[in-house]
Amino acid sequence: EEIQRLQHELHSLEGQVSGDLTLTAVNTAQYITPYLLKPFLDRYPLVSVRVHVVNRAQAIERLNSNQGDLVIMGIVPSEKPFASLPFLDNELIPVMAPTHVLNTEDKITAEQFLESGVLVRERGSGSRLALEQHCHEHTLKLRLSMEFGSNDATKHGVLAGLGVAVLPRLSVTSELRLGTLVSPEIDGFPIKRAWCLVHPSAKKPSSVAQYFLDFVADNQGRIAEAFRLAGVETDRVIFE
């Protein structure tokens, strides 16, 4: 550890950045993490990165126990003081199979969609929490049909005709493009959240983590462009 610290200090004196960066990404954030890391590592190739993919409950546990440097998540916990940097829109959209009976309707209401058997993530998932909060805020009744342990499993449940779902746009981009899933226009949707880089307010980020935070804050346009080139429709968040 002492040798590594000295190496990092020498690199810093030479104007280079090196060291370890440990990120925790909630399940859905695994789709965006590579696009954050690629331009960062192009600029700072001596940085070594580790990524842990977990659900929201596990991400909060890692935050509370100060594990790792930064967490990538959509809904920042309010129970404790956390510093957060929003950097990209996170849209949750209604999806169903093109053969679903609702797809024959000219106009679908939120009530019709949510009462037709919704496939959801397990308790503790950020996607499920966002949907439940949305329904509570808009006085909508949510009829749950089945629980799944991942967004991919939920998506395949919709593809198989088990029901409908509200999923992150990032996780169904290919299916929407191919037409194997459709996203109906429904008042009140999509549910808009922002992806954030989060760490405990009382914890000073490591030098490498701070470089990463600064890089993401300064390069939102480049990051959003990487998503567009990959076929992911999203808008960047403009910092005040």
Residue 233's pLDDT is: 45
Chunked in runs of 10, what are the mean pLDDT values of the chain (240 residues)? 65 70 92 88 92 92 94 90 91 96 93 95 88 94 92 95 93 92 96 93 90 92 69 41
- pLDDT tens per residue across span 56-83: 989 999 999 999 999 999 989 988 899 9
3-state helix, strand, coil in the chain (%, to 5): 40, 25, 35
Q: Which residues contact 59 (CB under 8 A, 6 or more apart)?
A: 24, 25, 26, 71, 73
Look up residue 117 and give its amino acid.
G
How many other C-beta atoms can be found within 10 angstroms of the C-beta atom of residue 81? 9
pLDDT at 214: 94
Percent of the chain with pLDDT over 70: 88
CA distance 174 to 146: 23
d(CA 192, CA 86): 12
Tokens for 74, please give them. 């959509």
Identify the pLDDT of residue 211.
92
**Domains (ranges, CATH) in the chain?**
2-88+194-229 (3.40.190.10), 91-192 (3.40.190.290)
pLDDT of residue 180: 97
CA distances in angstroms from 76 to 2, 15, 109, 130, listed in the order given: 35, 34, 29, 11
Tokens 């009530």 belong to residue: 111
- Rounded to 5°, the CA angle 109-110-114 comes to 125
DSSP string for 50-90: EEEEE-HHHHHHHHHTT-SSEEEESS--SSS-EEEEEEEEE
